[in-house]
Chain A
Amino acid sequence: MPDLGPIQYAKPWAIFWTVAVLAHAYMDYSFLRIWKRWSRGTKTGTGHQRNVRAAIKIWTAEVLLQRQLFILSRSRWVVHMLIFWGFLSLSLLSMMTCIAAALGIADIYTAAKFFFSSGKGHIFVKLWGDIFGLFLLAGLAAASLRRFLLRPSQQVTEQADTLLLLFLLWLALSGFVLEGLRLSLVPPELARYSFIGSLFIPPGAYTIVQLQPWLTACWCLHAFSGLALLVYLPHSKLIHSISAPLVIALNASAEFARKDIYWPHISKHRATGSLKD
């Protein structure tokens, strides 16, 4: 059984953790300011009795499955679902990797950590990264195509939209390039689990010594870009990833009580024969 563990190369953990703490602190501060801004409004209830079951049902349908978008436009639903689930799952993966690294620093080795970083579980981690990396990449490519080439009349592109799209593309691509470099050093039978990452394997044969500086540089670019996203998130339209689920959750009980436009079957009410996307 070959070693399934990660390829070892230098990573500036001390700098990374320092920057991570600072970036996180800044993000928390930004969220605090946003919360204060929201708090300037009057405190009002939903005006309806809370219905937790209905709220969970609506939240699941509208946030996790994005039903409203599905009804309005299937193509936009696919694109947004790819980005949403890709981004969410990769963020989760990065978070888990950071926790694993932190456990390593603290010299805490658990069976789970060993399983996922060196054992058979490592394959699942790689597969997870590749599948959801592909989701994100495909979603971003389709979103770029729509925004810059198809240009539907309802679309307005501001600098911030372009910046965010490029930034997310950069994050996804830099992750795959790093993966490709790493895979060039492992036996081919292991590379197949990273079915997208293996497409980024550079041509030729290299040793760990030859690739070490490149691996470190790529890791730095990817990891620090991820931290930059933490700083940018509260100031970008990615804030909707926090506020939109919140609005949906807050409105869910009221919508259920009103039995209104969203409940139970909006598709029954939609326009027919006009405004096809």
Chain B
Amino acid sequence: MAAHLKTQGDRIAEGLSWRQHIELDACTRCGECQRWCPVYAQDSRELLTARSKIKYLRKIVGERLNDREEEKFISSLYECSACGQCHVVCPVRINTSELWEQSRASLVKTGILQPVSQIKQLSAIKEFNNSYSRPQQERGLWADMAWESGFLLKPLRLWKDHPAPVLYFAGCTASYDPSQQAVAVQSARLLQEAGIDFSILGSEEPCCASKLRRMGDGDFLREAWRRAEMIREMGIRTIIVSCAGCYKGLHSDYAGIWLDAPEVLHLTQFLDLLIGDGRLRMRHEVPLIVTYHDPCHLGRHNNIYDEPRRVLRTIPGVKLVEMPRHRSFSSCCGMGGGLKLAYPEVQLKMSAGRIKEAEATSSDAVVTPCQTCAMGLQHAVDEHSSPIKVYHSNEILIRSVCPDVTGEAVIEAFSRR
């Protein structure tokens, strides 16, 4: 078809894969997605369900939607954390989160842009190489500060000076966000405690750019390709990430991009191996009842359920109890998919819902191996004055291995600097 004769629907249709087109026709509107949707649980509008999104998507690729319908569809597409719960429960097994992300990208190509708040963050990632709009030179400061504050056994070496067998990839949040820098420090310390020869990229570490994919930015492939090429040229073979979003990005989103894919592991997977090999020893008891929150990007999207639980169970004194919704049925905290940027009030309700679930287990703390989830859950705890604590899984582990590197200690030391 000549380009000038193509309708908006044609262009959106071309952005989807042929398999996704079949998926649009496979939905029977059974409503299983509605029953389990964590967004619908907070804002019970049919528009927000996966079946409704599919209905509008089917309409938009077949014909022109009127302005009102278009507005409704777009709001439903972005009022979603793409957590993948609807994928898990769909009897037809429609890969919904992939469909939403691809639809977002497809709409953007036709000029139907994301909510303004998302565009701002996407621009920041492309301009500053991080979502915090901070200079790239500051990215590796946490490592220097950690050494100078006495949190590390030895200074961290940069890959360019020492290309170690393992690279620790801290990610934007743990590098820049003062409330989460402890995650990077603790990750590095735990790796040192286990005697791992690793290095970091410091100010050369790029943003994984997975947020571009989550929010449908058209530049994702180009940006991801650049980063994959950089990592390939450096000869990096094993990457350890402590962020669920970076894991999803480097492990899953880059799957079709890597020319020679390095091994990408989440920190909990690596620690699980190290503990199994007896290389990381627990020294102190941590008397806590904890419940585990599965991050969507690790659990539903990448099938990592057992390793983090095994790590927690090896810590003496820790008792792990499950929430009613766990593993592939874990309720999303709302921090993914750009939902928090576009609909912060919905995200807060989702996190608050999850905190209520955690409270009902009578746990002392809710533990998650994702700093983004931890931030979202902590926000809900603060807003609702909940007595429950929110910890990154590193925090529990570090209290047993080397209790002088607690999150509190790191935050305090870093804030003085």
Interface set of A (CB-CB < 8 Å, partner B) = 34, 37-44, 47, 62, 66, 68-69, 72, 76, 152-156, 158, 161, 237, 239-240, 243-244, 246-248, 250-251, 255, 258-262, 266, 268-275
Given A40-B21, A41-B16, A47-B255, answer yes or no on A251-B95 (Cβ-Cβ < 8 Å): yes
Whether a CB of chain A sits under 8 angstroms from the CB of B256 is: yes
Shortest CB-to-CB span from A84 to chain B, Å, is: 11
Which residues on A sit within 8 Å (CB–CB) of B327? 268-269
Which residues on A sit within 8 Å (CB–CB) of B46? 156
Asked if B92 and A38 make an inter-chain contact with CB atoms under 8 angstroms apart, the answer reads no
Given A156-B31, A262-B93, answer yes or no on A40-B25 (Cβ-Cβ < 8 Å): no
A38, A158, A268 — most chain B CB neighbours (10 Å): A38
Asked if B25 and A155 make an inter-chain contact with CB atoms under 8 angstroms apart, the answer reads no
Given A40-B13, A40-B61, A247-B26, answer yes or no on A72-B92 (Cβ-Cβ < 8 Å): no
Shortest CB-to-CB span from B354 to chain A, Å, is: 13
In the bound assembly, the distance between CA atoms of A243 and B90 in angstroms comes to 14
Which residues on B sit within 8 Å (CB–CB) of A270? 328-329
Chain A, Cβ-Cβ closest to B35: A154
Asked if B22 and A38 make an inter-chain contact with CB atoms under 8 angstroms apart, the answer reads yes
Given A154-B31, A246-B26, A271-B324, answer yes or no on A42-B92 (Cβ-Cβ < 8 Å): no
Chain B, Cβ-Cβ closest to A254: B95
Residue from the list A154, A155, A158, A269 in contact with B329, Cβ < 8 A: A269
Shortest CB-to-CB span from B121 to chain A, Å, is: 27
28 interchain pairs (CB within 8 A)? A37-B21, A40-B10, A41-B20, A42-B17, A43-B17, A62-B93, A68-B93, A76-B30, A154-B31, A154-B35, A239-B25, A240-B27, A240-B28, A240-B92, A244-B26, A244-B92, A246-B22, A247-B19, A247-B22, A247-B92, A250-B19, A255-B93, A261-B88, A266-B88, A266-B328, A269-B327, A269-B329, A272-B326
Asked if B326 and A271 make an inter-chain contact with CB atoms under 8 angstroms apart, the answer reads yes
Given contacts A40-B61, A275-B35, 7 further A-B contacts (CB under 8 A): A40-B14, A41-B14, A72-B91, A240-B28, A243-B23, A271-B326, A271-B329
In the bound assembly, the distance between CA atoms of A154 and B19 in angstroms comes to 26
Whether a CB of chain A sits under 8 angstroms from the CB of B94 is: yes
Which residues on B sit within 8 Å (CB–CB) of A66? 91
In the bound assembly, the distance between CA atoms of A275 and B85 in angstroms comes to 14
Which residues on B sit within 8 Å (CB–CB) of A158? 29
Shortest CB-to-CB span from B39 to chain A, Å, is: 15
Whether a CB of chain A sits under 8 angstroms from the CB of B129 is: no
Given A40-B13, A68-B93, answer yes or no on A274-B324 (Cβ-Cβ < 8 Å): yes
Interface string of B1-19 (1 = CB under 8 A from A): 0000000001001111111
Whether a CB of chain A sits under 8 angstroms from the CB of B392 is: no
Asked if B34 and A154 make an inter-chain contact with CB atoms under 8 angstroms apart, the answer reads yes
Chain B, Cβ-Cβ closest to A275: B35
Interface size on B, residues (CB 8 A): 49
Asked if A44 and B18 make an inter-chain contact with CB atoms under 8 angstroms apart, the answer reads yes
Shortest CB-to-CB span from A35 to chain B, Å, is: 10
In the bound assembly, the distance between CA atoms of A41 and B89 in angstroms comes to 25
Whether a CB of chain A sits under 8 angstroms from the CB of B64 is: no
Whether a CB of chain A sits under 8 angstroms from the CB of B300 is: yes
Whether a CB of chain A sits under 8 angstroms from the CB of B414 is: no
In the bound assembly, the distance between CA atoms of A155 and B33 in angstroms comes to 11
Shortest CB-to-CB span from A261 to chain B, Å, is: 5
Shortest CB-to-CB span from B110 to chain A, Å, is: 14
Which residues on A sit within 8 Å (CB–CB) of B17? 41-44
In the bound assembly, the distance between CA atoms of A244 and B30 in angstroms comes to 13
Shortest CB-to-CB span from A128 to chain B, Å, is: 27
Shortest CB-to-CB span from A43 to chain B, Å, is: 6
In the bound assembly, the distance between CA atoms of A80 and B283 in angstroms comes to 55
Asked if B303 and A260 make an inter-chain contact with CB atoms under 8 angstroms apart, the answer reads yes
The 8 A-B residue pairs whose C-beta atoms are closest, nearest first, are A154-B31, A271-B329, A41-B18, A243-B26, A269-B328, A269-B327, A38-B21, A40-B13
In the bound assembly, the distance between CA atoms of A133 and B21 in angstroms comes to 33
Whether a CB of chain A sits under 8 angstroms from the CB of B297 is: no
Interface string of B176-199 (1 = CB under 8 A from A): 000000000000000000000000
Chain B, Cβ-Cβ closest to A155: B31
Asked if B303 and A259 make an inter-chain contact with CB atoms under 8 angstroms apart, the answer reads yes
Asked if B22 and A269 make an inter-chain contact with CB atoms under 8 angstroms apart, the answer reads no
Interface string of B251-276 (1 = CB under 8 A from A): 00001100000000000000000000
Whether a CB of chain A sits under 8 angstroms from the CB of B313 is: no
Whether a CB of chain A sits under 8 angstroms from the CB of B305 is: yes
Which residues on B sit within 8 Å (CB–CB) of A239? 25
